[in-house]
């Protein structure tokens, strides 16, 4: 998706003189409304002002040689998402919807990270943390530009996709995500990725605080936590933040009635 450009340059006439002016008019694209079956109720959204946000599908979280796996987390849960996420991302691009890869990407010295977050990252000394290389690892965990911070090969960004780095569970702190979305005139965000009750939920919450409408593609998001954690996140989203829907509903919007 390209930014909506302003109109042609303009001029102002003062008597016999013509002076150039700055045209700040933003041209909006055609509205592309679609109705989707969702919970707690069906929703109508404008696809022309929607984006897909794929959270944290990175080597350090999803690859067998990444930080999570080498620290003892079974990454089968995240790798199981790859087929459905590939289909969801392909569908979004086919619908001319902006795809945004929202990734962890910290400084090598982690000076932007709160002390408490660094402690939780190491599980209070039980493992290596942000910016540290785990035994047998490919490099420092989640440092921007490193192998671990890159998208997994199966879901690598394509031309036109946007990659935004974060250093908090929420994707809306200390980065340019909100500015990019506003520049693109996006108002509705579909979320997918990992982990449901952590970075996905935190990003959805902050998105609503900033005025965006949010939807979670339930079966395109996952977590290594007990099922009750994701279930609680789903309930919170449906009760006060937004909506949930299944991947098949997102992938096949052409089958639904437009209004």
Q: Tell me: the pLDDT tens digits for 223-243?
A: 999 999 999 999 999 999 999
pLDDT per residue as tens digits for the range 173-227: 999 999 999 999 999 999 999 999 999 999 999 999 999 999 999 999 999 999 9
56 part of the active site: yes
Whole-angstrom Cα distance, residue 107 to residue 101?
A: 18
Of residues 62, 166, 206, 219, which has the active-site annotation? 166
Buried b / exposed e over 160-172, threshold 16 CB at 10 Å, is ebbebbbbbbbbb
Q: State the SS3 of 169-198.
A: CCCCCCCCHHHHHHHCCCCEEEEEEECHHH
pLDDT score recorded for residue 234: 98
Q: Are 206 and 175 in contact (CB under 8 A)?
A: no
Whole-angstrom Cα distance, residue 80 to residue 141?
A: 22
Of residues 60, 62, 110, 199, which has the active-site annotation? 199
Model pTM score: 0.90
2 part of the active site: no
Whether the predicted pLDDT of 1 surpasses 80: no
Q: How confident is the model at residue 137 (pLDDT cuts 50, 70, 90)?
A: very high
CB atoms within 10 A of CB 1: 21
> What average pLDDT does the segment 68-92 reach?
98
Q: Are 239 and 204 in contact (CB under 8 A)?
A: no
pLDDT score recorded for residue 38: 96
Of residues 56, 60, 161, 219, which has the active-site annotation? 56
> What average pLDDT does the segment 60-74 reach?
97
Q: Are 39 and 244 in contact (CB under 8 A)?
A: yes
Mean pLDDT score across all residues of the chain: 92
Q: Are 100 and 172 in contact (CB under 8 A)?
A: no
For 213, phi then psi, to 5°, come to -90, 140
Whether the predicted pLDDT of 12 surpasses 70: no
62 part of the active site: no
pLDDT score recorded for residue 20: 72
Whether the predicted pLDDT of 164 surpasses 60: yes
231 CB-near residues (< 8 Å, 6+ apart): none
């Amino acid at each position: 998706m390209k930014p909506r450009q302003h109109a042609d340059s303009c001029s102002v006439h003062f008597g016999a003189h013509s002076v150039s002016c700055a045209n700040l008019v933003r041209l909006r694209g055609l509205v592309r409304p679609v109705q989707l079956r969702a919970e707690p109720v069906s929703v109508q959204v404008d696809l022309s002002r929607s984006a897909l946000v794929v959270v944290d599908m990175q080597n350090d979280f999803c690859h067998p040689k990444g930080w999570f796996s080498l620290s003892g987390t079974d990454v089968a849960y995240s790798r199981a998402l790859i087929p459905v996420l590939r289909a969801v991302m392909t569908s979004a691009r086919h619908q001319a919807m902006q795809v945004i890869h929202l990734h962890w990407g910290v400084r090598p010295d982690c000076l932007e990270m709160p002390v408490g977050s660094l402690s939780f990252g190491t599980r209070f000394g039980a493992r290596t943390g942000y910016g540290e290389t785990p035994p047998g690892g490919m490099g420092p965990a989640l440092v921007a530009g490193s192998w671990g911070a890159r998208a997994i090969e199966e879901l690598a960004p394509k031309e036109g996709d946007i990659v935004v780095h974060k250093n908090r569970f929420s994707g809306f702190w200390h980065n340019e995500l909100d500015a990019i979305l506003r520049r693109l005139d996006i108002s509705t965000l579909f979320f997918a990725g990992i982990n449901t009750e952590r970075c996905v939920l935190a990003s959805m919450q902050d998105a609503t605080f900033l005025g965006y409408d949010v939807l979670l593609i339930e079966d395109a998001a996952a977590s290594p936590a007990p099922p009750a954690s994701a279930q609680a996140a789903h309930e919170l989203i449906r009760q006060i933040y937004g909506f949930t829907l299944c991947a098949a509903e997102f992938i096949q919007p052409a089958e639904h009635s437009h209004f």
